[in-house]
Amino acid sequence: MLVIGERINGMFKDVRKAIQTKDKAIVQDLAKRQLASGANVLDVNVGPASADPVSAMKWLVETIYEAVDAPLAIDSPKPPVVEAGVKACKRPPIINSTDGSPDKMAALIPLAAEYKAGLIGLCMDEKGIPSTVDARLEVGMKILAACVEAGIEPQNVHLDPVILPVKFSQPQFAVSFETLRQLKTLSDPSPQLVVGLSNASQGCIDRHIVNRITLVMGIAGGLNEAIMDPFDTELMHAMITAELLMNKQIYCDSYIDAYMKSMGAGK
Amino acid sequence: MPVARVLDKASGQIAEVTIGATKANGGSRASVVKVGGETAMPFMFDDGVMPNAPVVGMEVWDMQPTWPDHLAVHYKDVWNNPVAWAAKCQEKFGAQMICIRLIGTHPDNKNFGPDDAVKVVKAVKGATGLPIMVIGCDVPEKDNAVLPAVSQALAGERALIGFASQNNYKTLAATCIADGHNILTSAPLDVNIGKQVNILVTDMGIPIERVIQLQTTAALGYGLEYCFSAQERIRQAGLGGDKMLAIPMLATVGYESWRAKEAKVSAAEFPAWGPEDKRGPAWEVATAVGVLLSGADILLLNHPEAVAATKKYVKSMM
């Protein structure tokens, strides 16, 4: 399971403050602690508050690289911000994200191809989030085909069936899980399957249990990546156990310890 | 139409372990062996690297073995003298490592104590410049008394000492850390237990680059296919990123092969089976090739012809 740590995001107050005051320590501490908690990739998002998101993104990426050498996921709805982040990366990042709209794909697919970056593709487009499995698959296939045509290998395409908050869009969960299961069969080798996990629990009082169960059900359907909170220990343990049950890891009595050690985490 | 070969690119790498320390590194060995470091299944050079060839170690016992004549004939002149035995393995048979097997410390055998074991180990250490490994008698209480003394006698030599098992690992792990050795973990053909023992010893503070693992070896005709599957699964998991299994493997090929009836009995008893002096070592080599192909990095062998044939096979595959 690829854990993309979500905490370096301007939506969080501490990160917003760090961006505004150029406080490197806050960002670097979050980077280190997320990796120590089992994250494999660090998501980087300047959030909505920054007046100059392009330079804020560049600053964030450079600041993180001063402290750790981990792959990053450059996260912004604005292609110029994404480009600034990708260019500042020392190693190929994951671009987070395009959707099926022609403008987005035209801006981000060539960028991903040029920098050998991974690309997250959301199964939605300029018309919104499709309400049926087939319509979401169609968008996923469109993104995957465009990526492959641009020379990006399917393994570098990360398709996201899109998970909406359960509080507001309850019927969509079944659609998302079925989409996930079918996305896996789009190509061989299959694309990576990712979700933005915390979205599931937006507005819920007990967010942890919703996130945890969403992740476990996703893993049962073939999910192999998530943008999530690695500081949520129960969530991490649920993930490790779900992967074990799916025969992705070899059992031993200390399998959680073994997983964390294999990730180089916990140091 | 040509079909492109599908390559298996691994995400993980097997740890590289060094056995033996030269003078420059605080020991007295003339040579050291390095094993592990693979990024592919054995000998699959298109898929990844196999930087270190598997090595052949030979056993020196602390008591006279009860081997069939066609094996014993090669050892009768030395088997009451570990020093001469080790020297013969090195000089005449081409061993790359010496494994001192303290079978005599077993309460049902000679019940040798720590002092006896230390005497043997020190003598062999002086007789050979090869890297040394030591295996206890696999009786926990006895090993816990003998192996720390042996470890201390070899301090600084970066030896390989076993066995650490799921229920008896603390004493050996602590002593290996104190004296700078590698540790040999063992499990009874059980991948889950094997992984657990590896975690337990690394939790004690042994770096992963100081661990070699053993899944009980099974000889041809006596479960070799189970051993093959267990080793293969371990290696695949290790290459897949499971660091607790990305550890070089050892196989006790000789010891197990020479327990097989097919290796032991004479042609006089079973004429159809052919001459035993060819059949015995052939049994050992067949087992050796099986464990090599499923990922073994260190093989312990007994018959000199098996040693020569196995080394030749390894060379041809590298």
Contact B21, B29 (CB under 8 A): yes
pLDDT band for B25, please (50, 70, 90 cuts): very high
Q: pLDDT digit string (tens) for B154-168?
A: 999 999 999 999 999
Searching chain B, which residue's CA lies closest to the CA of residue A265?
B243
One-letter amino acid for residue B242 of the chain: D
Q: What is the pLDDT of residue A194?
A: 98
Q: Where are the beta strands (DSSP E) in B147-248?
A: 160-164, 182-187, 211-215
Residue B49 has pLDDT above 90, yes or no: yes
Q: pLDDT digit string (tens) for A119-148?
A: 999 999 999 999 999 999 999 999 999 999
Residues of chain A in contact with residue B200, where contact means CB-CB under 8 angstroms, are: 254
Work out how many domains chain B is built from and give that number.
1
Q: Show the CA angle centred on residue B10, arms to residues B7 and B15, nearest 5°.
A: 140
- In a domain? residue B40: yes
Q: Report the pLDDT averaged over residues B29-55.
A: 97
Contact A247, B192 (CB under 8 A): no
Residues of chain B in contact with residue A254, where contact means CB-CB under 8 angstroms, are: 196, 199-200, 203
Residue that the structure tokens 């607790």 belong to: B244
| Chain B contacts to A (CB-CB under 8 A) | 191-196, 199-200, 202-203, 233-234, 237, 241-245
Nearest-by-Cβ selection for A262 from B192, B196, B243: B243
Residues of chain B in contact with residue A261, where contact means CB-CB under 8 angstroms, are: 199, 202, 243-244
Q: pLDDT digit string (tens) for B250-275?
A: 999 999 999 999 999 999 999 999 99
Q: Report the pLDDT averaged over residues B79-85.
A: 96
CA distance readout (Å), A80 to A57, A58, A73, A105: 10, 11, 15, 13
Separation in Å, CA of B227 to nearest CA in chain A: 16
Separation in Å, CA of A135 to nearest CA in chain B: 33
Domain edges within chain A: 2-262
Nearest-by-Cβ selection for B242 from A250, A254, A257: A250
H or E element: which one contains A1? none
Q: Tokens at residue A83, please?
A: 């480009």
Separation in Å, CA of B224 to nearest CA in chain A: 21
CATH number at residue B276: 3.20.20.20
Closest alpha carbon to A217 in A174, A185, A249: A174
Interchain CB distance below 8 Å, A258 and B242:
yes
Q: Give Cα B33 to chain centroid, integer Å.
A: 12
H or E element: which one contains B236? helix B224-239
ipTM value, please give it.
0.83
- In a domain? residue B131: yes
Q: Report the pLDDT averaged over residues A6-25.
A: 96
| CB atoms closer than 10 angstroms to residue B109 | 14
CA atoms of A3 and A100, how far apart (whole Å): 24
Residue B16 has pLDDT above 70, yes or no: yes
By residue range, what is the domain housing residue B260?
16-317
Q: What is the pLDDT of residue A267?
A: 42
A2, A3, A153, A250: which to substitute to probe chain B, counting the most B Cβ within 10 Å?
A250
Q: What is the pLDDT of residue B246?
A: 97
Q: Report the pLDDT averaged over residues A70-76.
A: 97
Q: pLDDT digit string (tens) for B205-243?
A: 999 999 999 999 999 999 999 999 999 999 999 999 999
Q: What is the pLDDT of residue A86?
A: 97
CB pairs under 8 A between A and B: 41
Residue A266 has pLDDT above 60, yes or no: no
Q: pLDDT digit string (tens) for A87-110?
A: 999 999 999 999 999 999 999 999
Interchain CB distance below 8 Å, A249 and B233:
no
Interchain CB distance below 8 Å, B233 and A257:
no
Q: Which CATH superfamily is domain A2-262 in?
A: Dihydropteroate synthase-like (3.20.20.20)
User: What percent of chain B is predicted at pLDDT more than 90?
Assistant: 97
Interchain CB distance below 8 Å, A254 and B196:
yes
Query: How does DSSP classify residue A51?
Result: S
Q: pLDDT digit string (tens) for A212-254?
A: 999 999 999 999 999 999 999 999 999 999 999 999 999 999 9
Interchain CB distance below 8 Å, B192 and A258:
no
Q: Report the pLDDT averaged over residues B20-24.
A: 97
H or E element: which one contains A218? helix A207-220
Searching chain B, which residue's CA lies closest to the CA of residue A264?
B243
Name the average pLDDT for chain A.
95
- In a domain? residue B180: yes
Residue B10 has pLDDT above 90, yes or no: no
Handedness of CA A6, A7, A11, A15 (dihedral sign): negative
Residues of chain A in contact with residue B234, where contact means CB-CB under 8 angstroms, are: 250
Q: What is the pLDDT of residue A100?
A: 97
Nearest-by-Cβ selection for B245 from A250, A257, A264: A250
Residue A265 has pLDDT above 70, yes or no: no
Separation in Å, CA of A99 to nearest CA in chain B: 29
Q: What is the pLDDT of residue B29?
A: 98
Interchain CB distance below 8 Å, A249 and B242:
yes
- In a domain? residue B274: yes
- In a domain? residue B2: no
Residues of chain A in contact with residue B192, where contact means CB-CB under 8 angstroms, are: 250-253
pLDDT band for B129, please (50, 70, 90 cuts): very high
Name the average pLDDT for chain B.
96
Nearest-by-Cβ selection for B192 from A250, A262, A264: A250
Residue B300 has pLDDT above 80, yes or no: yes
Nearest-by-Cβ selection for A250 from B191, B202, B203: B191
CA atoms of B268 and A18, how far apart (whole Å): 86
- In a domain? residue B291: yes
Nearest-by-Cβ selection for B199 from A249, A254, A264: A254
Q: Tokens at residue B208, please?
A: 């992963």
